[in-house]
């Protein structure tokens, strides 16, 4: 069976990044046939009023400028749709996700494309996929009261229909880096391929 993975790295650090190292190990472990790469160090635009207006204009009624404005967002949506698995490398910055990852989420979570509204509330449209999220933090323990990253990411994944979400955490690295990395590496080895 062929497998396509969308590999997203959100760390601002391109060298020496723990989350990038972990996500690379996960990619290696999965041995996917196709890997779509999205590095968020290349800044994504933030949602603007013009973008929102374009997004809520019916597709057939959009003018050229609106289609152009939504072009990158459309590409991000297609990357997520094409993937069987999303592998996201994310550091915890100031107790939450980096702004670059939030920008990706804002551009990719689109009504009618990745979720829809029903009489029972929102329904994710990217069902049948899984997400493996490699988390690194210096002082924040994953799952603690001050971790505003992992719960948010689990919720967002579920919101777009991805309910099979696994975390590989190298957390509280400043307290005991060796133990944190050993736990993360064990979690990677235990991943189903």
Q: Compute the distance between CA of residue 36 and CA of residue 90 in angstroms, rounded to an integer.
A: 17
Is position 48 annotated in a ligand binding site? no
3-state secondary structure at position 182: helix
CA dihedral defined by 122, 123, 129, 134, rounded to 10 degrees?
10
Is position 18 annotated in a ligand binding site? yes
3-state secondary structure at position 55: helix
Q: Compute the distance between CA of residue 59 and CA of residue 67 in angstroms, rounded to an integer.
A: 8
Is position 19 annotated in a ligand binding site? yes
Q: How far apart are the first and last CA of the chain?
A: 11
β-pairing, 115-118 vs 121-124, is antiparallel
The CB density around residue 58, as the number of other CB atoms within 10 Å, is 7
Is position 85 annotated in a ligand binding site? no
Whole-number Cα distances in Å, 116 to 70, 123, 171, 178: 18, 5, 34, 44
Q: Which residues are part of a known binding site for FMN?
A: 11, 17-19
Q: Which residues are part of a known binding site?
A: 11, 17-19
């Amino acid at each position: 069976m062929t497998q396509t993975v969308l590999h997203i790295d959100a760390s601002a650090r391109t060298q020496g990044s723990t989350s990038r190292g972990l996500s690379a190990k996960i990619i290696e472990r999965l041995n996917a046939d196709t890997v779509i790469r999205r590095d968020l160090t290349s800044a994504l635009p933030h949602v603007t009023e013009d973008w929102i207006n374009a997004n809520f204009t019916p597709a057939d009624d959009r003018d050229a400028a609106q289609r152009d404005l939504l072009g990158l967002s459309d590409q991000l949506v297609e990357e997520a749709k094409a993937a069987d698995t999303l592998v996201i490398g994310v550091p915890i910055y100031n107790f939450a996700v980096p702004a670059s990852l939030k920008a990706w989420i804002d551009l990719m979570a689109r009504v009618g494309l990745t979720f829809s509204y029903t009489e029972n509330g929102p329904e994710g449209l990217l069902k049948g996929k899984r997400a493996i999220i490699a988390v690194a933090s210096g002082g924040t323990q994953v799952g603690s009261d001050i971790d505003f990253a992992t719960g948010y990411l689990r919720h967002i994944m579920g919101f777009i229909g991805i309910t099979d979400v696994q975390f590989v955490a190298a957390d509280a690295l400043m307290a005991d880096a060796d133990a944190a990395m050993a736990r993360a590496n064990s979690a990677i080895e235990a991943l189903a391929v």
